[in-house]
Structure 1
Amino acid sequence: MPEWLTLSFQVLTSFVFAFAAIKVLNPLAQDIGLVDRPSARKLHQGNIPLIGGLSVFVAVLFAAIIWLPNTQELRLYLIAAAMTVFIGALDDKYDLSVRVRLVGQMIIASLMIYGVGAYFSELGDLFNLGNIDIGWLGIPFTYFVIIVAINAFNMIDGIDGLIGALSINTFTAIAILFLLSDQNNYLSVALIMATALLPYLLFNLKVGKHMQSKIFMGDSGSMFIGLSVVWLLACGTQGEEQAFSPATALWLTAIPLMDMLSIVIRRFRQGLSPLKPDRDHIHHILMRLGNSPRKALLMITLAAVAMSAVGIVGEFFGVPQSVMFALFIAVFGVYHWALTDTTVLKQFLRDSKQNEPQYHEEI
């Protein structure tokens, strides 16, 4: 069977199973209470099923079993993914504490590092001084990367469609790079992941008359996405058959990564916990500037696509890794400055309004 036809069947299988899983899990989630309830911070209406991550996992699982070679690496990845989704679903159901969630994320990282055997030991030529080989330090570094990735995708999940659109962008960009390097097995996984996210995105945005039952991704989804992104990036950037450089990998996850780092820096400067929730993410700021949620979604998605394109083009034309890394740091600096300045300005205007003298008309 031609490779393009095999890939077509893989993505079709992924889409169908994801769509079917949503239809089956939606009423079940309502019955067992696996829903997101409105609160002071959650302004949606009604109880929304948290089944996005579950539907994506079901699709990836069946598509992988049907179409992908039964390798030990794939089996271990699917086991790690199943554990990830299970821990995330527990968090969605019982709202686990930050400490318990962190322990769960450490377990997930351990499964990938010691089970799948994927971790970052080489960081590439980031400073034009030769390849940076961190050896055994790659294990604690990979723990850090997995926790960052999980929380980055979790934090960006603030408006309808955003985590779905950004994740599809990341997996599609990874797939393109694997395609350019003829690594078809990893290409298939990336495409299956991207396609499995499409039904979630359509239901989340309520696109079409058959997809009006709104669903959310849930922590099971953000954790699964984070794990899968890191695994594919590790597979693509490490070893002798490197598909792309670690510097390129930064561009593929630019918006979630930059947004999280910017938030953490601002919270530390304000003396707040980096895990404290707030409404100063990029989507919140864009909406405070007068943009609708859909317009903010479009703007952020286009920015993410543009940054992924920079990474792909740089990799394709062999731009030095040090240049790509320096450019990424420069873009992040501008990003952080822009969001910080906007936040400060908003606070200044708010304080100024509160401090205005109140005049009362005399009768």
Structure 2
Amino acid sequence: MTQVVLQILFAFALTAVLLLVLRRPALKAGLVDRPCGRKRHGRVVPLIGGVCILLGFVAASLPADFGLRDYQGLFAGMAVLLIVGVVDDLIDIDAWIKFGAQVVAALLMTVWSGLVVEDLGQLLGPHVALELGALAVPFTVFCVVGLINAVNMFDGVDGLAAGTVAAALGWLVLAGAVNGGASWLVLAGLFLASVCAFLIFNMRNPWRRKAACFLGDSGSMMLGFALAWFAVEAAQGDHALLPPVAIAWILALPVLDTLTLMGRRILRGRHPFHPDREHLHHIFYRAGFTPGQTVTVLVLASLALGSIGVVGTWLGVPEWVLAALFVPVAAAHLLAQARAWRFARLMRRQLRWARSRLRG
């Protein structure tokens, strides 16, 4: 236990140091995000979050007292996405190349490492397991690529993507700690520590009004892949800690936001990955929330949604009931996106009322 605590502290400290040390080399190399039409941060910001998180995570994982051979696919997939993402951050490569890298990472997880979603749990009732059989590998690849893109597309405000990933990892680590854990739990804890170190430099707070560094495509894709790996580890196998429906609750916010946006874009005849200003956080902007307030609200919402799945499981709520409860949440999200302007006006009124009460 002492060794694990030391490893976690080392992952956090090393990531923080790297974020300080690599800032200037990134600026010289041009690995930066420049302000443009949709990016209004006002200055160039180094895109070193993904590099520093991966280096801190890998270095802290090496002294592990268990074999890392079973996690070669994890490290290899993260490295592939990081390299392709860094190249994209430097020279803006074609979207299909990034998609190919995502598929390669998913195949490293499924075909090479054998980590797949074998069943979807008892969504249709007790003792009725939805086994995927021959569809397990393609379904897992689809879900992994989908989550990678969900985290990548959710990365629109300082601290939002990393904060949401940290919230999800927090629930997975807590579930593992309560249920006895496994080797993947240690790695998930180390990765969470590295992500939290990055958030200190990325999330706005009273002492930091602007982010000192960004994830970039390299970091957001890598975070999505690692989260997918640990989520499948937690929900599959003979020693699964959580049912798949609980994982759906943990990942609900970025996944629902991405699915809703892509569906609307397709219905309008646009490319599903075409950037716009219709994300969930844009609704909060229109309602008068600051970027920091928006991130706080959405990360807390992600924590609350995850609590329904995890605590519900601990209390013995049947999986089919958790699945049924998920439907109105998804419908409410879809309605809020479809009526974005009305929803923003409603929140603006509520925000003004709350502020007036506080002043009074």
> Residue deviations 1:300-338, cap 9 Å, x none?
111111111111101111211111111112201111112
Counterpart for residue 84 of structure 1: 81
Q: Distance in 2 between matches of 1:10 and 1:316?
A: 29
One-letter code aligned to 1:172? G
Alignment of 1:19-168 (within 5 A): 19-128=16-125, 130-168=128-166
Shift, 1:8, TM fit: 1.9
TM (norm. structure 2) is 0.90
CA distance in 2, matches of 1:208, 1:66: 36
Distance apart, 1:210 and its partner CA: 9.8
**Match 1:337 to one of 335, 338, 342:** 335
TM-score by length of 1: 0.90
- Structure 1 residue 80 displacement after superposition: 2.2
- Whole-Å separation in 1 of the counterparts to 2:182 and 2:101: 31
Q: Which residue of 2 aligns with 1:287?
A: 285
**1:206 shift after superposition:** 5.7
Q: Which amino acid aligns with 1:288?
A: R
2:50–2:220 contact (8 Å) kept in structure 1: yes
* Runs of 4+ residues over 6 Å off in structure 1: 208-213, 344-347
What are structure 2's unaligned runs of at least 5 residues? 346-360
Give secondary structure in 2 for the equivalent of 1:7.
helix
The change in CA–CA distance for 1:67 and 1:210 in structure 2 (over 3 A counts) is farther
Select the residue among 241, 244, 247 that pairs with 2:245.
247
* Aligned residue type for 1:263: L
Kept in 2, the 8 Å contact 1:285–1:343? The answer is yes
Whether contact under 8 Å (1:203, 1:211) holds in the other structure is: no
Partner of 1:228: 226
State which drifts further: 189-198 or 52-61.
189-198
1:7-41 per-residue CA deviation (whole Å, 9 max, x = no partner) reads: 32121011011012112221111111111111111
d(CA) in 2 for partners of 1:326, 1:201: 34
- Give the counterpart letter for 1:227 in structure 2: F
Structure 2 counterpart of 1:155, which letter? M
Q: Distance in 1 between matches of 2:88 and 2:102?
A: 11
CA contact (8 A) 1:156 1:163 kept: yes
Task: Give 1:74 shift.
Answer: 2.2
The CA distance in 2 between the partners of 1:143 and 1:57, in whole Å, is 22
Match of 2:275 in 1: 277
Larger radius of gyration: 1
What secondary structure is seen at the aligned counterpart in 1 of 2:63? helix
Aligned CA RMSD, in angstroms, stands at 2.0
How much has 1:199 moved relative to structure 2?
A: 2.0
Q: Secondary structure at the match of 2:339?
A: helix
**Deviation string for 1:175-215 (max 9, x for gaps)?**
01111221232221121111101221111136587998710
**Aligned match of 1:181:** 179
